[in-house]
Amino acid sequence: MIMPAGRPAAIDPNWKAFPPALAGLPIDAAVAQGKSLLDGDFLMPVAILKEAAIDQNIRSMQAFAEAAGAELCPHGKTTMSPELFARQLDAGAWGMTAATAHHVRLYRQWGVSRILLANQLVAPADIALVLDALAETDFEFFCLVDSPEGVARLAEAVRCKDLKRPLNLLLEIGATGGRTGVRSAQAGLELARGIAREKQSLALRGIEIFEGIHAFTGSGVAATEAMLDEVAGTARLLLDKGLFAAGDIILTGGGSALFDLCASRLAAIDLDGRAKVVLRSGCYVTHDHGTYAAAIEAIRQRQPETFVAKLHPVAALEVWAVVQSLPEPGFAIVSLGKRDAGFDVDLPRPIWHFRPDGVVSRPADDLRITRMYDQHACLEGADGLAVGDLIGFGISHPCSTFDRWRAIPVVDEDYRMIDIVTTGF
């Protein structure tokens, strides 16, 4: 089901890459035309999402979480797409994770009724936005806290708002040299006591970590396990001291590369039957051809096959471009640039070479991007390419490609458009 407040009614003429002839048409009517990437219907470059892969990824991760005894609260910052949020929630996601107050505002407009803000809530306008939303009885909200100053600001704001229910908080545990979060169990205990003193305004509902600050191989695994051990010890201590509010005690980890350790370690924590494990991975929805492909392989190497049996992500996001120039032997310029695809982790990876006459259609493993400009990329290994050929690129870290597109065609296996995904960036 598409959330009506999140999906535009018609094709915006300013959407990058969409055929000009579709401008202004109702989205369903535009989709019904079955425009084809390989037939040259789209402007170049164009980002696409593969329907079969999206469907498999959503089903696969939900099944993994359920088999592990965890809830899934996907981080929406990956896609910021109301259509994809709807599909994740319809598949059984417990809620959606946000990173900013602005995200919370958009999620509420899109109909999300349970939001975990995986961040501190500090700025006055941010706090006011959330407290206004909490006046709505169908909205459940959680945010993080790691300092007495943060507790004091939130408690005062709730009192001034005369909110009829306490604000749900998760104690954030961090790591030395990392991001936010308390740095010791003792600091966590003192903070929990401060929250308890404000029990009319605040409710301590669990513990949060972001293990994604660590590498997913080597010493990063041991560092993550140490964080999770600290969660276990702190949670037990706070429970024994009676510092958690009534209800489930949420234990949540947040990355897309070490979620297996969070699932297995957090589920093993004994909190007298009150623990609820919540995974916040976001990039699984499209997976990728780079860093997360490597991360999933690392998970398979360290976990028993039975634990990951339901986990089968497939790369769904590609960006296609046209060969514009062959100025030197073995060297090509294509119409893909930094304005079109993420490059913060790895450069886009050529995966497919297609010649519009259909004579050439092959993997592009022999090609490599050596440099990207705003609107161009340089390809090495370009022997056999021709001006006008299409190159399909896989990307690494989907977050930084999604935020370059306001709308993305969803295609079938023949690269014909069968739906459209919009974004709120």
What is the share, in percent, of the chain residues with pLDDT greater than 70?
Answer: 99
Query: Across-strand partners of 252?
Result: 208, 278
8 A C-beta contact, residue 36 and residue 354: no
Residue where the block lists tokens 């993305």: 408
Q: What is the pLDDT of residues 102-117, one digit of tens each?
A: 999 999 999 999 999 9
Q: What is the mean pLDDT of residues 259-288?
A: 97
pLDDT bracket for residue 124 (50, 70, 90): very high
Name the residue with higher pLDDT: 359 or 248. Answer: 248
Q: Beginning with the edge strand found earlier in the chain, give each strand of the sheet holding 140-145 in spatial order.
A: 71-72, 275-279, 249-253, 202-208, 167-172, 140-145, 114-120, 96-98
- Mean residue pLDDT of the chain comes to 96
At residue 360, the pLDDT reads 77
Is pLDDT at 1 greater than 70 in this prediction?
no
Domain boundary assignment for the chain: 10-50+314-422, 69-282
SS3 of 372, please? Answer: strand
Q: What is the mean pLDDT of residues 410-418?
A: 97
What is the share, in percent, of the chain residues with pLDDT greater than 90?
Answer: 95
At residue 3, the pLDDT reads 44
Q: What is the pLDDT of residues 170-212, one digit of tens each?
A: 999 999 999 999 999 999 999 999 999 999 999 999 999 999 9
What is the domain class of 10-50+314-422 according to CATH? Answer: mainly beta
Q: What is the CATH number of domain 69-282?
A: 3.20.20.10
Is pLDDT at 47 greater than 80 in this prediction?
yes
